[in-house]
Structure 1
Amino acid sequence: MIRNYLKVAWRNLTKNKMYSFINIGGLAVGMAVAMMIGLWVNDELSFDTYHQNYERIAQVMQHATFNGKVGTQTSNPAQMSPEIRAKYGSSFKHVVQASWEGSYVLSLGDNHVTKSGIYFEEGAPEMLSLKMRYGTYAGLKDPYSIMLSESVAKSLFGDQNPLDKTLKINRTYDVKVTGVYEDLPYNTSFRNVKVIMPWSLWLIDNPWVKTMEDPWDSNFSQTFVQVADNVTMDVASKRIKNVKANNLNKEELKYKWEAFLHPMSKWALESEFKEGINTGGSIRYVWMFGIIGVFVLMLACINFMNLATARSEKRAKEVGIRKAVGSVRTQLINQFFSESYMVVVFAFVVSLLLVMLCLPFFNEVADKKIELPWANPVFWLLSLSFIVLTGLLAGSYPALYLSSFQPLKVLKGTFRVGKWAAIPRKVLVTTQFTVSVVLIIGTIVVYQQIQHAKNRPIGYERNGLISMGMDKEIQDHFEAFRGELKSAGAIEELTASNSPLTGVWNTNGGFDWEGKDPNLGVDFPNSRVTKEWGKTVGWKIKQGRDFSREFATDSAAFIINEAAAKFLGFKDPIGKILKWGGKPYTIIGVVSDIMAESPFYPVRPSLYHTRDKDLYNLTIKLNPAQSSSKSIATLERIWKKYVQNVPFSYEFIDQQYGNKFKAEERIGTLSLYFAVLAILISCLGLFGMASFVAEQRTKEIGIRKVLGASVPNLWRMLSGDFVGLVLLSSLIASPIAYYYLNDWLKGYDYHVEISWWVFAIAAAGALVITLLTVSYQTLRAALVNPVKSLKSE
């Protein structure tokens, strides 16, 4: 019986090639999209699960009230780790202090490579359950040791066992290789960590930490913990709430510091905080794309149902004859389901091929390294479930509907589908285009939001600016290096700072000024810069003057941005005194707000002061009178004169600034592709429906032409129903899209307003696409010679 079902199903597929192509093609695209979204969602939800104890690992974070608002930060004092171990050690299996990720030069003889690494306390390798290739978890006990990722070890030592071999870090410290661990996968928070060094070595390299007057006053490192097996994350978090507050002086208490644990399971998707409350994060995109995947697959299933029911009149006699010769309804249902599953299986095979072809491109767009898990039985079990569910979803309505025809009416010729039979098809088409229009509107609004932020004034001139890390040799010979570059004509100006132009690495409190609320805790981005900073970056002076070498007093001066001028409350800030740690600084200038952080949020009140030491970044304005490549070649030559054995590297400020939009651009691009695919699937269905309608009304068209109907009139008649359905879809889609997109935009302080024309463009676009899709079939039918249409009568 099953063999007979499949044979009949195969005959129907091969007999109706256009119908089969539309069904298999549409389902294949829908299944491919759903599969890729499913792989992406799985990758997101499995972030950090590489670490065996990820459900019990957390980062110690802090809430504090700055500038009248509750802020949340990941940085902690270096005392945080020993204090937690001493006071709350029973609640934790591991407590480790860590530096921030940075670039480090590893030297082995004449081989010098720059790799990303981090300083960790001893328990980190075990806490992170690193897979050791050589050595043990105890590899960080010796201050002068180092652990390498497998790829770094191979690049330096080839296939040799690197244990106990000696390297040099940053041309300063000789360290011994005590461990090699498997490279961490791409979907982990520590994926870029290729080198791990002991925290004790970081303390040796930064002796100022141990000589700080108040070790709890500065936040400059990270703290990670693994909660003990007999303690819950919430309980442990509550226990350490006042770990910092209990060690602060009276002045610092105004910030209302509160420590808490942020679980590793939430790092990737739920790390957004507003006013001290976790408001989610990227998890909303996981839900959004998951829903899109379901809807896109649904669109493909709708095509199948629509075309199957649309062909009901053609198959009515088949059903009548089968019932007349003894077929029961169950057999007919099985027949139609066998056709459905045959289509789904073929579509699934095609979808696998599409996914294989598209995954490299998809990974590039989505910033992933997803692979099809061929050897994973769970994948095949899910795929089988996927096929069963899709076949059931796509075939249920046709099977139940077609098998219900009454044989007596069909064979007598009195069976008519009737006007009500078209309603389900119209509902399904409306649903299809509602989803498509929502995606079109979403794509437009995401693009608008990105452009809105990109067009925001940034407060400096990006063109021709490059950024570089500053080595000790450059800092020691800064003036000579600057002078030589200017003499060579490679640059227009050069400056140094403690934070890059496109980031904030340093904030300070302890400021007082006339009229300040004594209970107000403040924390301002506070940049140390050389006096050429303004000339180099081209900031815009709104009041006062720039820093100058002609004024020795500028060493005790501040230039503030407009946000700071507003926050301080000075009507005329020039000449006003701003005390920092009790020392008076004179405000000499006000500049336009510089976009150093996220372009989607307000610029924070920021300060700039001059200093010649403890500077880590170079910002260079290339000479616009010659090509960038020539200037950079000169820069590299002069750089190597001062700095040996360090790879020369730089980055354009344009590129750094562009990175701030990557997440939103990625979402926008993915939304665009999914919208296009949804429309493609919907159009395939429309094309099939238009073909059927044109075929069904062939004789009607012939009669109308004989009676004088013109081709435009016939085209309008045949296209009218589809146009009406698309306009109805647009009316339904608009409020749905507005509700969800307006909620998404509220997540940004600086955002676009949704305009009425967005909905108009989406509706017009859907309408044009619909007309282009159906016009081929309608015009083809309208142009047929009526003699051919009517000769069978």
Structure 2
Amino acid sequence: MFKNYLKIAWRNLLKNKGYSLINIGGLALGMAVTLIIGLWMHDELTYNSYFKNKDKIAQVFQSQTFNGNVGTGPAIPLPLEPALRENYGDNFEHIVMCSWTQSSYVKYKENSISRTGNYMQPNGPELLGLEIIKGVKNGLDEINSIMISESMADAFFGVENPIGKVLKISNQYDMMVTAVYKDIPYSNSFNDTDFIMPWEHYVSNQEWIQNSLDNWQNNSFQMFVQIAGNTSFESVTNAIIDIKKNSDEEVVEFNPRIFLLPMEDWYLKSNFDQGVQSGGRIKYVWLFGIIGAFVLILACINFMNLSTARSEKRAKEVGIRKSIGSQKGQLINQFLSESFLVVLFAYLIGIAIVLLSLNGFNDLARKEITFPWNSGTFWMISLAFILFTALLAGSYPALYLSSFKPVDVLKGTFKSGKYAGLPRKILVVVQFTVSVAFIIGTFIVMQQINHAKNRPVGYDKEGLIQIPTFAQDFEGKTELMRNEFKNSGAVVEMATSSSPTTRIWSNRSGFTWEGKPEGFQEDLAWTEVSVDYAKTIGLKILEGRDFSREFATDSVGILINESAKKYMGVQNPVGMLIRDTDEEDPAPTMKIIGVIEDVIAQSPYEPVKQAFYVYDRYDNFSYYTLRLNPNQSASQNIAIVERVFKENFPDIPFEYDFVDEEYGEKFAAEERVGSLAGIFTALAILISCLGLFGLTSFVAEQRTKEIGVRKVLGATVFNVWNMLSKDFLKLVVISCFIAVPIAYYVMNGWLQEYPYRVILKWWIFAIAMLGAFGITVLTVSFQAIRAAKQNPVKSLRTE
């Protein structure tokens, strides 16, 4: 029986090739979009699936309150570790102190490469469940040992056995390879960890860390834990939440709260608002999930509309089959079989579309998604997906077509009914409501990105490059390198800084100044810079002056930004003295010498943070910042800079970043969302237009004789176009008025997450509506004008 159903379905598809092509093409596009979004969502939702103990692993986070505002992050003080071990050790399987992932220069013989890695305590690899390929699992027991990834081992040693070999780190430390571990896949935390070195080595070689062993106020570290099997994240958090307040009275004023953030939330739910978890990338997962569902629904609507629109063509078939004994259930099965066949073809074409577009999608989304050919689960889900889509697309046509009365059909008195076209009209309205809402949403996303991009950054980022200086070799050579670079003709100015221009790496408190309010809890961004920093990057001095070599007192000078001036509540800050109250890290009293325009160093969608730019007295820098010669090409300048660099640092690889490109990365997430949303919106519109094209074709075919009569009686092409088009255009206008309030509500809510955001204006919605209307006119007009230009003699010819 089912075989016969498929035969009849196949004949019907061949009989109506044009409509079959529209149905299958629309469904294929919809299913391809749904498939690729599904693969992307799976990749997002399974982030960190590599770690076998992921359900018990967490990072220790901390919330602190500054003047009523709660800030939350993973930075914790060093004394927290022994306090947890001594007082709450039974709650943990592992407690691991870990450095921030950082770049280091790694050298073996003549091969020198920059790699990223971490310092960890000895049980770190066990917590992560690293797969050891060579060497020993306890590879961090020795203070001068190093564990490296498989890819790093291949880069340095090839087929040579790396175990026991010595690598030089930062051109300073000799570390012996004790283990090689399998690379952590890209879609996981620590995937950029090419090496791991002992935490003990980190502490023993950094005086500032040794000074922090008992300092509860220095939040410069991170900690990972694996909780015991008989506990939960919630119970452990409840036990340790006030440990910092109970251990150090001086931190009580900031109301610190220690808690665990489970590994499953690191990637998707890492945002906090006033100390409360407020989502994160998970919003994009659900956003694209909704888009995928709607695009599939649009494609199914096309199938429903075209199937029911051609009901009169199938009426006689239904009447004859019923008159010879076919039951309604059999007819329903027949039409569902046709639906299944269409969906099956569409799915196969959809897979082909996905395969052809996957590389481009990966480039755009910055993913490494592969098609899961060998996944039994995927094919089971695919079968369920095909059946679900077949039912979704075919249920209404099947129920509608199988309900015809055979007597009326065979007597020739069957009519579709006064309201037979109403469901189709409703479905067209739904299609274009979704499409118009997508257009508006995409437009607003791009507006928001451009709004932030056009925001003044506070410096001239064009022609600036940054060179990392993560080695002892750079100490004491700032002036030498500045002169070398400037004399080369490729650089017009050079400076150093403790943080990259586009980021804030350090925040400090514990300062006093004249007029500081009682109980004021300051939180200030802190960057140490050389004397030529403002000149190099093009900072705008609003009050006072820049650092100068002519004033010896500038060694204790600081520049503050506009936000700091407002934050401190002072009118004339130039000349004001700032004293550091940290007794363990005493510094001379500093003097404000100038106020600069706000510099965007964090998110361009957030207010600029209050910041101090302090004269670097101790060569505490991490970057050279160079202003390239604008009269030469960038490639020519870079080649000269590299030559000068290698002449002075032959054992260190030359690396650099353009500041404008680094700044552009701040928009990467939103731009990816905007680009993907734009592509999916275009496909949604295309699918809707395919359906509209099919319906217009059918209406024109259905009214062929009427059009012929009207033309004989003197109707113009415009009259015929108006007759065929006006009903569809009315539906699109209705869709626009439904879509606008929905889009406004959704996008206005989305924009509230950005303190610095675009204002929604009426013309944004007007452009989207006009665009949708114009697309509809073009789609409908093609068939309408074609029908209007046909020779009436042919259409009125006796059949």
TM-score range, shorter chain: over 0.9
Cα distance in 1, alignment partners of residues 631 and 287 from structure 2: 49
Q: Distance in 2 between matches of 1:79 and 1:356?
A: 52
User: What residue in structure 2 maps to residue 25 of structure 1?
Assistant: 25
Tell me if the contact between 1:68 and 1:521 (Cα under 8 Å) persists in the aligned partners. Answer: no
Name 2:311's counterpart in structure 1. Answer: 312
- Structure 1 residue 78: Cα displacement: 2.4
CA distance, structure 2, for counterparts of residue 244 and residue 620 of structure 1: 42
Matches within 5 A, 1:361-440: 361-440=360-439
1:783 aligns with 2:782: no
Aligned counterparts of 1:208 and 1:349: Cα–Cα separation in 2 = 61
The corresponding residue for 1:190 is 190
Shift in Å, 1:67: 4.5
For 1:328-339, what aligned pairs fall within 5 Å after superposition?
A: 328-339=327-338
TM superposition shift of 1:212: 4.5
Aligned to 1:273: 272
Give aligned-pair identity as a percent. 51
Structure 2 residue corresponding to 1:592, chosen from 591, 597, 600:
597
Q: Is the 8 A contact 2:172 2:472 kept in 1?
A: no
Partner Cα separation in structure 1 for residue 29 and residue 201 of structure 2 = 55
**Equivalent in 696, 699, 702 of residue 696 of structure 1:** 702
- Which residue number corresponds to residue 722 of structure 2? 716
Taking the aligned partners of 1:348 and 1:722, their CA distance within structure 2 comes to 29
Q: Classify the secondary structure of the residue corresponding to 1:361.
A: helix
Residue 640 (structure 1) aligned to one of 633, 637, 646: 646
Alignment partner, residue 585 of structure 2: none
The aligned residue for residue 484 of structure 2 is: 484
Contact in 2 for aligned 1:209/1:215 (Cα 8 Å): no
Instruction: Supply the distance in 2 between the matched residues of 1:159 and 1:624 (Cα, whole angstroms).
Output: 46
Mean Cα deviation higher: 40-49 or 474-483 = 474-483
Distance 1:578 1:213, change over 3 A: farther
Which amino acid in the other structure matches residue 198 of structure 1? P
2:676 corresponds, among 646, 670, 675, to 670
For residue 320 of structure 2, what is the aligned residue in structure 1? 321
Q: Report if aligned partners of 1:474, 1:481 keep a CA contact under 8 Å in 2.
A: no
In structure 1, C-alpha distance between the alignment counterparts of 2:238 and 2:407, rounded to whole Å: 76
Assess if the C-alpha contact under 8 Å between 2:78 and 2:213 holds in 1: no
Q: Which secondary structure state, in structure 1, belongs to the residue aligned with residue 278 of structure 2?
A: strand
Provide, for residues 725-748 of structure 1, a one-character-per-residue CA deviation record: whole Å limited to 9, x for no partner. Answer: 111111111111111111111111
Q: Which of 763, 768, 777 is 1:771 aligned to?
A: 777
Q: Distance in 2 between matches of 1:772 and 1:632?
A: 51
Aligned to 1:456: 455
Residues 416-446 of structure 1 deviation map (CA, whole Å, 9 limit, x = unaligned): 1023010000111111111111110110000
Give the deviation of 1:244 after TM superposition: 2.3
Per-residue CA deviations over 1:9-56 (Å, capped at 9, x if unaligned) read: 111111111111111111111111101111111111111121111111
2:140 counterpart residue number? 140
Other-structure match for 2:127: 127
Q: Does the 8 Å contact 1:531/1:547 carry over to 2?
A: yes
Instruction: Give the 3-state SS of the residue equivalent to 2:243 in structure 1.
Output: coil
Aligned partner of 1:680 in structure 2 is: 686
Go from structure 1 to structure 2 and tell me whether the alpha carbon gap of 1:644 and 1:77 turns closer, same or farther (over 3 Å shift): farther
Match of 1:219 in 2: 219
Tell me how far apart the structure 1 counterparts of residues 170 and 239 of structure 2 sit (CA, whole Å). 40
- 1:155-183 deviation per Cα after TM superposition (whole angstroms, max 9, x unaligned): 22223432222222222222221211111
Aligned pairs for 1:730-769 within 5 A: 730-769=736-775
CA RMSD of aligned residues (A): 1.3
Residues 161-210 of structure 1 show CA distances to partners (whole Å, capped at 9, x for unaligned) of: 32222222222222221211111111112111111111111112213322
- For the pair 1:108 / 2:108, whether they are aligned, the reply is yes
3-state SS of paired residue (1:96): strand
CA 559–15 in structure 1, closer or farther in 2 if over 3 Å, else same: same
After superposition, the Cα gap between the structure-2 partners of 1:695 and 1:317, relative to the gap in structure 1 and judged at 3 Å, is same
Residue 163 (structure 1) aligns with: 163
1:94 is paired with a residue whose SS is: strand
User: Contact 1:68–1:520 (CA<8 Å) still a contact in 2?
Assistant: no
> What is the deviation of 1:629?
1.8
TM-score, L = length of structure 2: 0.97
Alignment-derived partner of residue 500 in structure 1: 500
Deviates more, 1:392-401 or 1:160-169: 160-169
Q: Does 1:611 align with 2:616?
A: yes
Change (3 A) 1:559 1:698: same
Look up the equivalent residue of 1:459 and give its one-letter code: G
* DSSP 3-state at the match of 2:447: helix
Q: TM-score of the superposition, structure 1-length normalised? A: 0.98
Check conservation: 1:450, 1:665, Cα contact below 8 A.
Answer: yes
Distance 2:703 2:19 in 1: 18
Whether the 8 Å CA contact 2:559–2:613 is kept in 1: the answer is yes
Q: How many residues are aligned here?
A: 792
Give, in angstroms, the shift of residue 485 of structure 1. Answer: 1.4
Aligned to 1:544: 544
Equivalent residues of 1:144, 1:198 under 8 A apart: yes
What letter is aligned with 2:751?
A: L
3-state DSSP class of the match of 1:139? coil
What is the one-letter code of the residue matched to 1:387? I
Partner of 1:50: 50
**Alignment deviations for residues 372-407 of structure 1 (CA, whole Å, 9 cap, x no partner):** 111111101100000110011111011110011011
Q: Secondary structure at the match of 2:645?
A: helix
Instruction: Give the partner amino acid of 1:588.
Output: I
One-letter amino acid of the structure 2 residue matched with residue 120 of structure 1: M
Query: How far apart, in 1, do the equivalents of 2:298 and 2:386 lie?
Result: 16
Task: Give runs of ≥4 in structure 1 deviating > 4 Å.
Answer: none
**Could you tell me which amino acid in structure 2 is paired with residue 589 of structure 1?**
G
* Deviation, structure 1 residue 249: 4.4
8 Å contact from structure 1 (residues 468, 617) kept in 2 = yes
**Residue segments in structure 2 that go unaligned for 5+ positions in a row:** 583-587
Amino acid at match of 2:10: W
For residues 294-309 of structure 1, the aligned pairs below 5 Å read 294-309=293-308
- Cα deviation 1:60-86 (Å, max 9, x = unaligned): 111111244111121122222222112
Q: Does 1:510 align with 2:515?
A: no
Letter in 2 for 1:349: L
CA distance in 1, matches of 2:605, 2:67: 19
SS in 1 for 2:296: helix
Asked whether 1:472 is paired with 2:472, we answer yes
For residues 729 and 752 of structure 2, what CA distance do their matches in structure 1 show? 34
Aligned letter for 1:48?
N
Q: Matches of residues 66-77 of structure 1 in structure 2 within 5 Å?
A: 66-77=66-77
Residue 555 of structure 1: CA displacement? Answer: 1.5
Amino acid at match of 1:737: A
Q: Which amino acid in structure 1 is aligned with residue 540 of structure 2? A: K
What amino acid maps onto 1:703 in structure 2? V
* AA matched with 2:655: S
**How many angstroms does 1:580 deviate by?**
2.0
Unaligned runs of 5+ in 1: none
Structure 1 distance, partners of 2:614, 2:502, is: 17
Task: Give, as a single letter, the amino acid of the residue that structure 1 aligns with 2:611.
Answer: S
Offset at residue 247 of structure 1 (A): 3.0
Contact 1:13 1:20 in 2 (8 A): yes
